[in-house]
C-alpha cells in the first residue's frame, strides 16, 4: 500500500501540535517513507554540527532503504519580515524582536516536489496558540544534503 505523503504529513503535524501543547517543546522527528513502510525516528542533537550530522545520516538511511520520501518535523524560529512594528496586529505571532516560533514540516524526495508547511505559534499564559499555516513548494532543504537532488528512480 502506497502512503499518501501529504495526508501522512498533515496527520504528523496534528500530533506535533498536540505534543507541543502538552509538553511545551517539540522533539524533532523524521519519517522515511518507502513503497511499503514508514519508519519513524526521534532525532537528537545538541548543536548545529550534530544536527547536520544527524540529518546527513538520515539521508544515508533513506538511500539504503530505497525511500521515496523523507518527512521532517522541527521546531524553528524565523525572523518576521514585518518586525515588531506589526505587534498590535492580532495575526502577528512574533515576539517583541520580530522572532516567530513555528513548527516546520517538510516532505521531500528524489521523485517528488519538495513541500513544506510553516505553522507559527505563540506561547501565552493560556498555553500555545497556533497561527495560520503557510505552505511552500520547492524549498531548498539544507539539512538533507543530496536528498531531493537525487535522480528520479526508474519505474
pLDDT tens, residue by residue, 85-116: 344 344 555 555 677 899 999 999 988 888 99
Backbone angles phi, psi at 92, to 5 degrees: -75, 125
Q: Could you tell me the three cell numbers for 73?
A: 518535523
65: in domain: yes
Mean pLDDT of the chain: 83
Distance, CA of 152 to CA of 155 (rounded, Å)? 9
Residue 40 has pLDDT above 60, yes or no: yes
Instruction: Answer whether residue 33 shows pLDDT above 60.
Output: yes
Q: With a cut of 90, say whether residue 73 has pLDDT above it.
A: yes
CA pair distance 119, 51, nearest whole angstrom? 21
Is 145 part of any domain?
no
Are residues 144 and 70 in contact, defined by beta-carbon separation less than 8 angstroms? yes
Contact 87, 128 (CB under 8 A): no
Q: Is residue 155 part of a domain?
A: no
Give the CA angle between residues 128, 95, 142 to the nearest 5°.
85
8 has a pLDDT exceeding 70:
yes
Domain count of the fold of the chain:
1
- The confidence score (pLDDT) of residue 59 equals 94
> 111-130 pLDDT, tens per residue?
888 899 999 999 999 999 99
Alpha carbons within 13 angstroms on the beta-carbon side of residue 137 total: 3
State residue 3's pLDDT score. Answer: 80
**Is 142 domain-assigned?**
no
pLDDT band at 150 (very low <50, low <70, confident <90, very high): very low
- Give the burial class of 38: count Cβ atoms within 10 A of its Cβ; 0-12 exposed, 13-18 middle, 19 or more buried: middle
Residue 129 lies in a domain: yes
Long-range CB contacts for residues 126-130, cutoff 8 Å, separation at least 24: 127/21, 128/17, 128/20, 128/21, 128/24, 129/93, 130/17
The more confidently predicted of residues 145 and 33 is: 33
Nearest one of 105, 152, 103, 112 to 3, comparing CA atoms: 112
In this prediction, residues 23-43 reach a mean pLDDT of 94
Q: What Rg value do the Cα atoms of the chain yield, rounded?
A: 16
Residue 98's domain comprises 5-137
Amino acid at each position: 500500500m502506497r502512503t499518501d505523503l501529504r495526508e501522512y504529513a498533515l496527520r504528523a503535524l496534528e500530533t506535533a501540535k498536540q505534543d507541543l501543547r502538552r509538553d511545551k517543546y517539540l522533539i524533532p522527528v523524521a519519517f522515511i517513507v518507502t513503497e511499503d513502510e514508514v519508519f519513524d525516528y526521534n532525532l537528537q542533537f545538541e548543536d548545529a554540527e550534530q544536527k547536520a550530522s544527524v540529518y546527513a545520516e538520515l539521508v544515508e538511511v533513506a538511500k539504503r532503504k530505497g525511500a521515496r520520501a523523507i518527512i521532517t518535523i522541527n521546531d524553528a524560529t524565523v525572523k518576521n519580515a514585518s518586525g515588531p512594528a506589526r505587534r498590535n496586529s492580532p495575526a502577528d505571532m512574533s515576539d517583541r524582536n520580530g522572532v516567530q516560533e513555528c513548527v516546520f514540516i517538510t516532505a521531500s524526495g528524489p521523485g517528488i516536489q519538495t513541500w513544506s508547511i510553516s505553522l507559527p505559534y505563540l506561547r501565552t499564559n493560556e498555553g500555545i496558540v497556533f497561527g495560520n499555516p503557510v505552505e511552500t513548494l520547492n524549498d531548498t532543504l539544507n539539512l538533507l544534503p543530496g536528498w531531493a537532488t537525487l535522480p528520479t528512480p526508474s519505474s
